[in-house]
Structure 1
Amino acid sequence: MIRAALFDVYGTCVDWHTGMRTAAERMLAEKGLDTGAGRAIAEGWRRRYQPSMDRVRSGRDPYRPLDAIQIETLDDVLDEMNLSHHVDAGDRAALNAAWDALPAWPDTAESLRRLASVMPVAACSNGSRAMMARLADHAGLTWTTIAGAELARTFKPEPAVYLKSCAALGTSPAETVMVACHDDDLDAAAACGLATAFVPRPAEWGADASPEPVDTGRFTFHADTLCALVDRIARASA
């Protein structure tokens, strides 16, 4: 029986690509620069996400919240694109804050509300608790609590993130489902004993993206929409 749900956030619940591309394009337009570089900034920044966290997961760097890491990786992106001399500290801070104001996918808010009416639901993100709280306020996300990386002081897919998130909900891994659009996130959760629920987000990297096919048969639940997925999870709690 499923008694609680953990949700990945970036990509699964919110559209980071549209939000960050738009924020980058706005910043470039204000500088009189080519807004066509906005997509490259957003995608280049996101691609540095995992390598930057690897240094913490491996023990090479101490844990620090994702927003602190992100401002460092933004510098790397701007340097690589020869934009550093155009973008001052205030611009960088404003662009970093755009991660807290991403749009939710159209089915997210209602799906979370529906599932939260039958079980606790928690954010299980690599973002900090402060980032998750600000994003929830902006995008209308209903969380019973905010779990995730900051509780474990490391980043997914380290087992401590999933296990400490279950503990925060007061449920065992077997009673908890991890919901995500990323199969590697779900595989790591399954290795910790959690049930898994997959929803595709084919436009996560843009409407013209060509996502790799995913073998959904290995997950406990899967559906084409988040609304359908939470209905299946809710039935497993009865």
Structure 2
Amino acid sequence: MDIKVVSFDVFGTVVDWFGSIEREARALNLPVPADEFTLAWRAGYKPAMARVVSGEAPWALIDDIHFSILEEILERFGIDDLDESQKRHLNLAWHRLDPWPDSSPALHRLKRRFTTCTLSNGNLSLLEDLATHGDLPWSRILSAETFGTFKPDPRMYRGVAETFQVSPEQVLMVATHQDDLEAARAAGLRTAYVKRPLEYGPEGPAKRFSEDHDFLFEDLLDMAARFGC
């Protein structure tokens, strides 16, 4: 395949949001299990994105959406002893997510052959902080903020091809989420599923995926090796 650009989902695919957020929640000694708190925070993510894409809710940065979800779950769990600065610091935990161990070395290798970019619902400052924190050497950072909408809006996927002036079939979308890849394929992109069995933690639900993609990888180092990088 004549792939020129490799675009990556970030949350879950490149970085370990569950382990990172759980660690920060545990450090605060919240009166609720850290894993339960983490999963509840993440559970508000897709519904919030869907409301924006449908036009039900106005455009907002993911940082602001994360904070709104945080306030909701703090109230739900009866946690009222965090002051504003503590809540803001906790919200920025999404800027401090650790990469999966294979992510940085694999991305360094892949960048030698391909143009690499993020294609994430995260805002630009968040993605830039993750790149610095995790030594993630993107050729370019693209986000929902770049295009003014959230995945799975097809404008996100087609926007990658337009940005780099290539055809959609010359863009490979890499993700660990079946719905993300299905939307990318519908927009004309090639797709690669990366297995991340621990995305929702060791006790998390089994993840749904199919082999109906151009590629199926065990992790990003497997991807780099199979592409000869």
Q: CA deviation at 1:114?
A: 0.6
Q: Which residue of 2 aligns with 1:55?
A: 51
Question: What is the TM-score with the length of structure 2 in the denominator?
Answer: 0.95
Shift of 1:210: 3.6
Letter of the 1:118 counterpart = R
1:65 to 61, 67, 73: 61
2:213 to 199, 219, 225: 219
How far apart are 1:142 and its partner, in Å? 1.0
Counterpart secondary structure, 2:7: strand
Cα distance in 2 for residues equivalent to 1:215 and 1:53:
24
Question: Residues 66 and 114 (structure 1 numbering): CA distance in 2 closer, same or farther, change over 3 Å?
Answer: same
Query: What is the CA–CA distance in structure 1 between the aligned matches of 2:193 and 2:208, rounded to whole Å?
Result: 12
Cα drift, residue 169 of structure 1? 2.5
Answer whether contact 1:20 1:99 (CA < 8 A) is retained: yes
Q: 1:229: which partner in 2?
A: 223
3-state SS in 1 of match to 2:120: coil
Give the TM-score taking structure 1 as reference length: 0.92
Q: Which runs of 4+ in 1 moved over 4 A?
A: none
The structural deviation recorded for 1:51 is: 0.7
Percent identity of the aligned residues? 34
Structure 1 distance, partners of 2:94, 2:111, is 24
Residues 178, 208 of structure 2: 8 Å contact kept: no
Cα gap change, 1:213 to 1:69, in 2 (>3 Å): closer
SS at match of 1:86: coil
| Higher helix content, 1 or 2 | 1
1:195 to 187, 190, 196: 190
Aligned with residue 114 of structure 1, among 109, 134, 140: 109
Cα distance change of structure 1 residues 72 and 213 upon mapping to structure 2, 3 Å threshold: closer
Aligned with residue 87 of structure 1, among 82, 88, 96: 82
1:186-222 residue CA offsets vs partner (Å, 9 max, x unmatched): 0000000000011110000002324134221x10011
Deviations 1:52-94 (CA, angstroms, capped at 9, x unpaired): 11111111222111001110010011111111x2122111111
Matched letter for residue 34 of structure 2: G
Q: Report if the CA contact (8 A) 2:197-2:207 is conserved.
A: no
Cα contact 1:151–1:164 (8 A) shared by 2: no
For residues 213 and 127 of structure 1, do their structure 2 counterparts lie closer, same or farther at Cα, with a shift above 3 Å needed? closer
Q: 5+ unaligned residues in a row in structure 2: which ranges?
A: none
Structure 2 counterpart of 1:207: 202
Q: How does 1:126-137 map to 2 (within 5 A)?
A: 126-137=121-132
Q: What letter is aligned with 1:18?
A: G
Instruction: Give the superposed CA RMSD.
Output: 1.4
- Mapped to 2, the partners of 1:45 and 1:210 lie a distance apart of 16
Is residue 195–residue 219 contact of structure 2 (8 Å, CA) maintained in 1? yes
Q: Cα distance, 1:37 vs. partner?
A: 2.3
What number of residue pairs does the alignment pair up?
228
**Structure 1 residue ranges without an equivalent (≥5):** none
